Amino acid sequence: MITQKMKYALKALMELAAERAGEGKPLRIEEIATRADTPKRFLEHILLEIRNAGFIASVRGRHGGYILIKNPGEVPLSEIMRLIDGPIAPLPCLSRRSYQKCDDCPDEEACRLRKVFAQVFWSYLLLIESLTLADLVERPESGKPRVVAEQLGI
């Protein structure tokens, strides 16, 4: 399950991607918050995290704001998820980037929980790592939003 913070991040990125495809001008945080229907005070912290990771930039000045500096197809959802919410593995012993041995597990190789959740997580990981911001913002020729955005509830 994704957190509310992650939903706010994705909504803001979708607005920045839409603006990039349109006029391409920087968006002020108030404008992003209004368009994405997100609280401004939470959005400020979220956008700073995303900016520090190199996906967006802030532009100073009267016509400043935030802009998406990467192509939406180059913004992996899995990276945004890890950035905003931390490890995405269901168990710490399954995480590739934040691996930790479970305190209550004497033998990882024999752990039934690890084996079952590893299978589920592998399928999830294959899907989530194949998705990019473009999957949330691009519309097929039918004009309907892609299924991914609907499934994420955004």
pLDDT at position 71 is 93
pLDDT value of position 95: 86
Let me know if 13 is exposed, middle or buried by CB neighbors in 10 A (0-12, 13-18, 19+).
Answer: buried
Report pLDDT for 103. Answer: 86
> Which positions ≥6 away from 25 have C-beta within 8 Å?
19, 63, 65, 67
Distance CA 25, CA 33 (A): 16
Q: Specify the DSSP element, H or E, that contains 5.
A: helix 4-21
> Cβ atoms within 10 A of the Cβ of 89, count?
20
Query: What pLDDT score does 79 carry?
Result: 95
Say which residue, 7 or 154, is predicted with more confidence: 7
Provide the 3-class DSSP secondary structure of residue 67. strand
Query: Mean pLDDT over residues 103-107, rounded?
Result: 87
C-alpha Rg value of the chain to the nearest Å: 18
Q: Specify the CATH number of the domain 4-73+136-151.
A: 1.10.10.10
pLDDT of 144 reads 46
The fraction of the chain above a pLDDT of 90, given in percent, is 51
Task: Please state the domain extents for the chain.
Answer: 4-73+136-151, 87-128
